[in-house]
Structure 1
Amino acid sequence: MGRPPGFDRNKVIQLVTRQFRRTGYAGTSMDEIGKVSGLGRGSLYAAFGDKGKLYSQSLADYCARNEAEWAAVLDGPDATALERLHTYLMRSARIVHEDPERLGCLVTGFVVEGVDDNAAADARARQALSAIERSLSDCVVAAQRHGDLDPAADAAEISRLLMAVNRGMEVMARAGFEPHALERVAAHAYAGLPLTRSS
């Protein structure tokens, strides 16, 4: 039986994930990964493989946490579904500014950067986006059942619109737009939902 590594694997993955979020895949060298993780190249390769495999593991870990965080925001009873959609939008407006380094989403970074030849990362990013879309769609349907949103509206289209607003505000925040400006964007997006008179 091999000797276990003398480091916290999860902590290393989280440190490396922040580096990938900070400088992207192409802009992150193994030397930088070694510096932030405190591990030498040999230990990194032995524990995680090459940079591509380490990126895939970082993305998978990030996606799992991100999906769980958004599910916690969006899951719940029908009676509060509309409130949860509002929370999703307002949190989307603030999430980048709540990070000390104003780092964006690793999934967005992966898609925008267009990392080539990493089928595992591509599949995981698509899975993450689909999972968040399902959580949003389920929340929209719950609001429709409760009578807060027009039942004739297409829940999938609404969820994709909300995702687009989320990703757009992330880019705006990283470009320097202040939280109050993004909160106004979120408020307008919420007002544009097919709200019923009773809501």
Structure 2
Amino acid sequence: MARPRKFDEQQVLRSATEVFWTSGFAAASLDDLMRATGLGKGSLYGAFGDKQALFLRVLEGYCADAAASLRDRLHGPDSSSAARLRALFDAMVTAGDPSGPPRACLLAKSTAELAATHPEVAGRARQTFTAIADLLEAEVRGAQAAGDIPADRDARRTAHHLLAVLRGMEALTEAGMDRSVLRDTADTALAAAGLR
């Protein structure tokens, strides 16, 4: 009979997330993961599998949380869809702590590092970006219903454009670009979407 686990699985995953987020997949050593989680190699691998399996669990949780957070943020009546879109882009302008080093989105970091060689990562990234595009499209359609975006705009194409700009803004933030650049980027994207 297997012995019951004597650790909090979610806490272990949170600790592993910090290691992968800070170091990336390749640079995160087993020693780093054991030190952060407080687990030995046998317990860590026994519970989560190898390093790649642990990383995929971390990425899965991060992506699910990111999509759920955006879903909550964009939830509401059509009459306030435009305001929620503006607020989303405003938050991207002010994202990050200007006094500290910028910290890239774990999904963006993981996609850049691993998508070309790890089909599971590429697939999870596509799934997450599609979910985000779906949420943005719903918000564009809501703004169209409220008369804040012209009805003749293609909502799906507009959502894809907004998604690309949001992801680009994350990269600009990570590079330490001035907030005025981010503000210009956000304003131009919203104007291009036809947001009044």
TM-score by length of 1: 0.89
Give the root-mean-square deviation of aligned CA atoms.
2.1
Residues 1:101 and 1:31: Cα distance change in structure 2 (over 3 Å): farther
Residues in 2 aligned to 1:124 and 1:99: alpha-carbon distance in whole angstroms: 32
SS in 2 for 1:79: helix
- Pairing of 1:1-199 with structure 2 (within 5 A): 2-97=2-97, 102-115=102-115, 118-195=118-195, 199=196
Q: 1:20 to 1:84 in 2, by over 3 A?
A: same
Q: CA deviation at 1:122?
A: 2.8
Alpha-carbon distance between aligned partners in 1 of 2:148 and 2:162, rounded to the nearest angstrom: 16
CA distance in 2, matches of 1:3, 1:142: 52
Offset from partner CA, 1:115-152 (integer Å, 9 cap, x none): 45533333222211111110000000111111110111
Give the C-alpha shift of residue 105 in structure 1. Answer: 1.4
Question: 8 Å contact 1:92–1:170 — kept in the other structure?
Answer: yes
Secondary structure of the 2:104 match is coil
Contact 1:81/1:140 (8 A) holds in 2? yes
Alignment deviations for residues 73-97 of structure 1 (CA, whole Å, 9 cap, x no partner): 2121100000111111112223333
Give the number of equivalent residue pairs.
Answer: 196
CA distance in 2, matches of 1:46, 1:114: 24
How much does 1:59 deviate? Answer: 0.5
- Mark the runs of 5 or more structure 2 residues left unpaired by the alignment: none
CA 1:99 to 1:126, structure 2 compared with 1: closer, same or farther past 3 Å?
farther
Where do 5+ consecutive residues of structure 1 fail to align?
A: none
Whole-Å separation in 2 of the counterparts to 1:188 and 1:98? 23
What one-letter code is carried by the residue in structure 1 that aligns with 2:160?
A: R
Q: Conserved in 2, the CA contact under 8 Å of 1:90 and 1:186? A: yes
Q: Does the 8 A contact of 1:73 with 1:87 survive in 2?
A: no
The residue type equivalent to 1:44 in the other structure is L
